Amino acid sequence: MVKKTKARRRHNSRRYRSGLEETLAEYLTHHQKEVRYELLKVQWEDLRYRTYTPDFQLDNGIICEAKGLFDNEDRRKHLAIQKQHPELDIRFVFSNAQAKLYKGSKTRYSGWCEKNSFKWAHRVIPLEWLLEKGRYNKATVIKLKTKRKDI
C-alpha cells in the first residue's frame, strides 16, 4: 500500500505574479510618484458578474496589463470589458508581442491588439504613455453601469 502524503502548499512570498510584472514595477518606481499594483477592481458581466483586477494603474489613469501568455479566455474578457467600459484606457505590455495567438495562427498578440483598438508595447511601458495627459481615478471599484440581466 502506497502511503499518500499531503504536500502543503507554500505561500508565494513574492509580491508580483511574474517576472514581467516585477520588471515593470521596478521601471515605474523611477518614472512615477507611486506604483499602483492591483489596487483597482473593474466589474464586468459575462454569464455572471465578475471583477477584473488590472495589474498597474499609471498616474495619468492609463491601465496597464502585463501579459506573458494571452489565451482565448483573456482575449474574450478584455473585449467584453472594452465594450462595457469604453471610458477605460486599457493597454497591454507583452513579454513577447510577436508570439502567435495559438499554434498555427497567423495572428500575433500585437496584431490582435491593433485589430481590436488596444495599444500595446513589448516588454517595457513606453515613456510616451507615462507623459500622456490624463487624470488618475481614485476609485477602488469601477461599477458596471448596466442593469443586471436575469436569465
- Confidence (pTM): 0.85
Looking at residue 123, which CATH number applies to its domain? 3.40.91.30
In a domain, 2, yes or no: no
pLDDT at 31 over 70: yes
pLDDT at 70 over 60: yes
In a domain, 13, yes or no: no
In a domain, 11, yes or no: no
pLDDT tens-digit series, residues 5-19? 665 555 455 688 999
In a domain, 72, yes or no: yes
Averaged pLDDT for residues 38-59: 93
In a domain, 147, yes or no: no
118 versus 2: which is more confidently predicted? 118
pLDDT tens-digit series, residues 101-143? 999 999 999 999 999 999 999 999 999 999 999 888 888 999 9
In a domain, 128, yes or no: yes
Cα Rg, the chain, nearest whole Å:
18
In a domain, 8, yes or no: no
What confidence score (pLDDT) does residue 11 get?
46
User: In the chain, where does DSSP find H-type helix?
Assistant: 19-31, 72-84, 109-115, 127-131
What confidence score (pLDDT) does residue 62 get?
96
Count of CB atoms situated within 10 Å of the CB of 29: 11
Please report, as a single letter, which amino acid is at residue 92.
F
Provide the domain limits for residue 127. 19-142
What confidence score (pLDDT) does residue 138 get?
85
DSSP assignment of 110-129 equals HHHHHHTT-EEEESS--HHH
- Counting the structural domains of the chain, the total is 1
pLDDT tens-digit series, residues 83-110? 999 999 999 999 999 999 999 999 999 9
Q: Could you give the strand order of the β-sheet that contains 90-94, starting from the edge strand earlier in sequence?
A: 36-37, 56-57, 63-67, 90-94, 119-122
In a domain, 138, yes or no: yes
Q: Quote the cell numbers at residue 76.
A: 474574450
pLDDT-derived band at 46, boundaries 50, 70, 90: confident
Describe the chain by its helix, strand, coil percentages, rounded to 5: 25, 20, 55
